[in-house]
Amino acid sequence: MITHLAMVMDGNRRWAKQRSMQPWLGHRQGVQVIKDVINFCLEKNIKHLSLYTFSVENFKRDPQELSYLFETLVEESENHLDFLFEKEVKVKFIGDRSLFPENVLQKSIKIEQSTQDLSKLQVNLLFCYGGQQEILAGVKKIVSQVKQGLLDENDLSEKKFQENLWTYGIPEPDLIIRTGGMHRLSNFLLFQAAYSELYFLDCLWPDINLEHLNNAYKHFENTKRNFGI
């Protein structure tokens, strides 16, 4: 049974390029697919869905594309609030909030507060996120706690380390699906993915459909997870 499904939504820009469209229109199309994935998770009784929305490295992209991407995120978040309430979906933004553009930061706070009591599914939007950056931030917090005498270094454990990560309180992903034909994690949930099953799709994110999702789910069901035993 899958408790936590995580997804690397790769291929929006290539999808747009194939259609001679501006790259941000690929992102807009990609947002529409998220509703189908949410419905799939609700049908399968999956409690957590994590979506790699924007990485720290993505800031290297063209400023115009980034501007449209951020505006799309804000607009689509507002447009889909009714859908979130109807489906009882809680939304949580995970990442380095000091890097959030102001319009996205304000919208993220509003959405989190509005949906905090919804409980059928928690959607984690990994925004301004990087696995290496998350680990480094956790290390810095722990070093600070040791310096202040709040934590003895001999008491440091895996559990204590997890408590200092941005994803604290969220179970580790059972299955990670990546679209776009690339076979790598790209700095996504590096600490949490230690025993996740990985499933790669050649289709671009806007083209993912129910058949793809069901095939990935069946693959997971047929996989024996022994966690090193």
Catalytic site positions: 10, 58
Sign (positive or negative) of CA dihedral 204, 35, 43, 196 = positive
C-alpha distances in Å from residue 171, one per residue of 180, 182, 209, 214: 25, 25, 25, 22
Q: How far, CA to CA in Å, does 142 sit from each of 79, 147, 148, 163, 170?
A: 39, 9, 10, 10, 19
Rounded to whole angstroms, the Cα distance separating 167 from 82 reads: 26
Is the dihedral angle over the CA atoms 87, 166, 11, 56 positive or is it negative?
A: positive
CA-CA distance, 71 to 22, in Å (whole number)? 14
**CA pair distance 211, 145, nearest whole angstrom:** 48
Q: Residue for token digits 């924007």? A: 54
Q: Which two tokens stand for residue 180?
A: 């776009």
